[in-house]
Amino acid sequence: MRVIAGEAKGRTLVAVKGGGTRSATDRLRETLFAILEPEIGGARVLDLFAGAGTLGIEALSRGAAQATFVERGAEAVDALRRNLRATGYGADRALIRAANVLAFLEQLSGRYDLVFCDPPHADSAILETAIAHPRLRAALAPEALVVARAHRKHLPALPKDAHLAREKRVGEETLMFLRYDAA
């Protein structure tokens, strides 16, 4: 697995062994970032269920200002740290929070322009809970975009204050691009 584009283009990324996470394929990342290109420059990114960090690292490589990675699995956090070292993204641009995502959201602060929400095994119940979390909503900058990745047969219900700005199917997966109503 490699970074597809940007300043870290071509750098090799390690994947997490085992079935605890699901990596975003090159095809999925190419599709996703072609859509996100106008949103990335200078963005503050929150990568929930980060796994080895491929989505957040790709955003940093393409010009995001900062990324916060949230992952609870020890092997995934280790892979994430290795990937950040390999791409040269230090603590000035990349923050790792080794935590359960839902517990992290309970204490969330800051403002984010772009959020990736990609739970393992396309768990629609966890995805619904995360994208509807009031603290997540409160941490979104005006015009922020939340990208939720789900299996196309198990799409989550949308929060009442969110609308689907775009939907893109990539194989068996669906990328849902959500914008939230002004608070």
Is-contact 23 16, C-beta < 8 A? yes
Alpha helix (H) residue ranges in 54-164: 54-61, 74-87, 101-106, 124-131, 134-138
Determine the pLDDT at residue 1.
Answer: 86
Determine the pLDDT at residue 19.
Answer: 57
Is-contact 87 80, C-beta < 8 A? no
State pTM to two decimals. Answer: 0.95
Is-contact 166 177, C-beta < 8 A? yes
- Residue 168: both structure tokens together: 């893109």
Inter-helix orientation angle 74-87/54-61, to 10°:
20
Is-contact 93 123, C-beta < 8 A? no
- Residue 181: both structure tokens together: 């109503």
Determine the pLDDT at residue 25.
Answer: 79
Determine the pLDDT at residue 130.
Answer: 96
What is 26-180's CATH topology? Rossmann fold (3.40.50)
Determine the pLDDT at residue 149.
Answer: 94
Mark the ranges of the chain whose per-residue pLDDT is less than 70: 18-22, 122-123, 183
Q: How many helices (H) and strands (E) does the chain have?
A: 6, 7
Determine the pLDDT at residue 34.
Answer: 95
Determine the pLDDT at residue 183.
Answer: 64
Determine the pLDDT at residue 151.
Answer: 87
Domain boundaries, the chain: 26-180
Phi, psi for 32 (deg, rounded to 5): -60, -50
